[in-house]
Amino acid sequence: MARLEAGQKDIDPDTAALYAEPFTVTRPKTQTGPFVFASPHSGRHYPASFVARSRLKPLALRRSEDAFIDEIFAGVVELGAPFLAARFPRAFLDANRAPSEFDNTMFAGALPFAVDSQSPRVTAGLGVIPRVVRDGAEIYREKLSPAEAETRLAKLYRPYHDMLAKLIAETRETFGFAILIDCHSMPSAAAVPDVIVGDRYGVSSMPLLTRLAEHAFETHGFSVARNTPYAGGHTTHMHGRRGGPVQALQIEINRALYLDEERIVPNAHFASLRSRVSEALRTLLSADLSAIGLRATPLAAE
């Protein structure tokens, strides 16, 4: 078995493999535009030891997944954009949270770093290491070691965000600016549209860019809403600034369009939905960004 640093206990091969490869990056042969895509919640590699320590059955643990969103958005690579996807499941570690969002009560001792245990997400049980899955069911049978929190940050969270920052920096160097699209799915409900485009209420993206994204999906037959009920999480907050060199949008796809939500398997519409999303993204990526005030000024030329 692999060993962790600082004399920690042996870990099982599943966890060691996840720590060795926490994400995948798929790059186009040539990046043709300033877009970077990321999926922090579609990981579905569940270590056997994690499942054994949980109160929940494997299917219940998967309730928090943005299931198959990595496959739904995979077509962006052929459109000339890089795509980062987490391999670790959201129930194990949520990369779309601030690194301080931990629930102290989950651990058998004080955590070795400052935490924000009063954030609304933490109090709801949905911190970096979630206490519950999305339907509110408790995940763990017993408290975790404080060292485990730091290990998951070091082995999963930081490598994922370091790679995302690298892709954004490379894109800025080539094009002078970058547009991050954070890819998610949302549970179906009677009042939920097909797609929600989130820009943190105008903070993480220029309104004209947000409207361009909405229009791209509307053109291909999707009903679209903005910011409600999902305006964007930590990733869009950390990277996107209206009027800045990096813009960020969060895109949520209604799971009813492509997923059997009870069994968490693709439904009969999966292939056609994936094609429609790819065509909507083709429309977005081929848009004239200079028309909304975004112009390529490569940093390398400065």
Handedness of CA 144, 157, 199, 227 (dihedral sign): negative
Domains (ranges, CATH) in the chain? 13-95+147-289 (3.40.630.40)
The reported pTM is 0.94
Please, which pLDDT band fits residue 10 given cuts at 50, 70 and 90?
low
Other Cβ atoms less than 10 A from the Cβ of 266: the count is 17
Helices (H), 73-206: 120-123, 146-152, 158-175
Please, which pLDDT band fits residue 192 given cuts at 50, 70 and 90?
confident
115 and 151 Cβ atoms separated by less than 8 Å: no
Q: Which whole number is the average pLDDT over 276-282? A: 98
Reading across the β-sheet that carries 246-254, which strands appear in turn? Answer: 23-26, 83-86, 35-39, 178-186, 246-254, 195-198, 224-226
Tokens 């996840």, located at residue: 18
- For residue range 202-235, list pLDDT tens digits in order: 999 999 999 999 999 999 999 999 999 999 999 9
pLDDT at position 298 is: 61
Mean predicted lDDT score pLDDT of the chain = 93
Please, which pLDDT band fits residue 33 given cuts at 50, 70 and 90?
very high
- For residue range 76-124, list pLDDT tens digits in order: 999 999 999 999 999 999 999 999 999 999 999 999 999 998 899 999 9
Which of the 8 DSSP states describes residue 8? P
4 and 266 Cβ atoms separated by less than 8 Å: no
